[in-house]
Amino acid sequence: MDVERVATALRSMEVGEVKTGEPLSRHTSFRIGGPAAVFVDPKHLDGIVAVLDWVRDEHLPYFIIGQGTNILVSDQGVDAVVISTSRGLKDAEVTPPTIRAGSGVLLTKLCRLAEKAGLAGLEFAISIPGTLGGALVMNAGAHGGAMVEVVESVLVWDAISGVRRISGDEAQFQYRQSRFMHNPWIALEATLRLEPGDPAEIRAKMQHNMEYRKRSQPVGEPNAGSIFKNPLPHYAGQLIQNIGAKGWREGDAMVSELHANFIVNAGQATAHDVLGLMRRIRRRVYQETGVVLRPEVRWIGPGEGGADATWENLWYAEDDGLREP
């Protein structure tokens, strides 16, 4: 990519700050990640749409980042235009029993708005860090609830047909999955449908969920939430704990002593360290139980396994014998 040409063109659009070589470690909860070739932080919805239209027309690789709480970014960084939603898509409007919000709004903020308006249904989300956009893509969930239950519609930028509204059903939410992962769609805003509830009860449920989280997860250390999906009916954390992996280290990446499905950055961990630890865990769990763990965290970057690495070719590069079926 001709970085200077791209940055100059984006700056001339005057949609927000444009940086080159911005370390993505500043934008991820893992505090890991090399530089973005170009990083742009549009201030409003029209600006994001203008940037997206332009990168599409120029056939440039691009990537949307919310709060970076569910991604592992390559140490080499990404040769792409990284577009942040965390500045521009921040509006939220409560019209009981719905809330319409930009995809850059923090999930915790939405929960507080719901609580204040006496709207129930989002209590599960109170301690999930990240933006509404990230939560839609991941169908984020906890405490038995998930986004699928509350999403009425999403305003998307579709690389093929432009800005349009899709229904929650069209997003095809499944366990930590959605159509956003397989389509050239960017979530711009969403309408959530909640139910009238008792504010005191809503608050109590949220408080309970937050306390549970503090007791059971390493919230004070840099991490990216659950590393592997639960291979139902098993729980990834239980399988990893059973192989005795708590405290395992590769460099400064360490399996949390509090919750075995969390890898924490105990200092200067690199993506290379985290990948090494994930491979080790995955291999041992497979050897001992026959269960193949699949990552929940999303890999961003060319990878150590070659260009356009997905998790699968990262594993293949190591040839750990655990090919995806």
Ligand X SMILES: Cc1cc2nc3c(=O)[nH]c(=O)nc-3n(C[C@H](O)[C@H](O)[C@H](O)COP(=O)(O)OP(=O)(O)OC[C@H]3O[C@@H](n4cnc5c(N)ncnc54)[C@H](O)[C@@H]3O)c2cc1C
Nearest-CA neighbor of 27 among 18, 36, 16? 36
Residue 157 forms beta bridges with which residues?
A: 163, 186
The single residue of 29, 123, 176, 189 carrying the catalytic annotation is 176
Closer Cβ to ligand X, 285 or 297, answer by number: 297
Does the active-site annotation cover 296? Answer: yes
Beta-carbon contacts of residue 138 (< 8 Å; ≥ 6 apart): 70, 147, 176, 177, 178, 296
Amino acid at position 149, single letter: E
Report in angstroms how near the CB of residue 262 gets to ligand X at its nearest: 7
Q: Write down the catalytic residue from 22, 115, 250, 296.
A: 296
Q: Which residues contact 208 (CB under 8 A, 6 or more apart)?
A: none
User: Which CB sits closer to ligand X, 269 or 284?
Assistant: 269
User: What is the smallest separation between the CB atom of 286 and ligand X, expressed in angstroms?
Assistant: 24
Which residue, among 134, 148, 172, 176, has the nearest Cα to 261 in the 3D structure? 176
State the residues that interact with ligand X by CB under 6 A: 29, 63-71, 85, 103, 128-131, 133-135, 137-138, 140-142, 180, 186-187, 217, 219, 223-225, 298
Nearer to ligand X, 86 or 284 (CB): 86
At a CB cut-off of 8 Å and minimum separation 6, what does 215 contact? none
Residue 121: name the closest of 102, 104, 96, 138 by CA.
96
Angle between helices 3-12 and 45-57 (to 10 degrees): 140
Tell me how far, at minimum, the Cβ of 87 lies from ligand X, in Å: 12
Residue 206 is given by DSSP the state H
Judged by beta carbon, residue 7 or residue 138, the one nearer ligand X is: 138
Yes or no: say if 134 and 117 are a contact pair by the CB < 8 Å rule: no
Residue 81: CB minimum distance to ligand X, A = 12
Between 217 and 270, whose beta carbon lies closer to ligand X? Answer: 217
Catalytic status, residue 226? yes
Catalytic residue among 226, 250, 256, 282: 226
**Radius of gyration (Cα) for the chain, nearest Å?**
20
**Closest distance to ligand X from the beta carbon of 190 (Å):** 9
> Which are the catalytic amino acids?
176, 226, 296
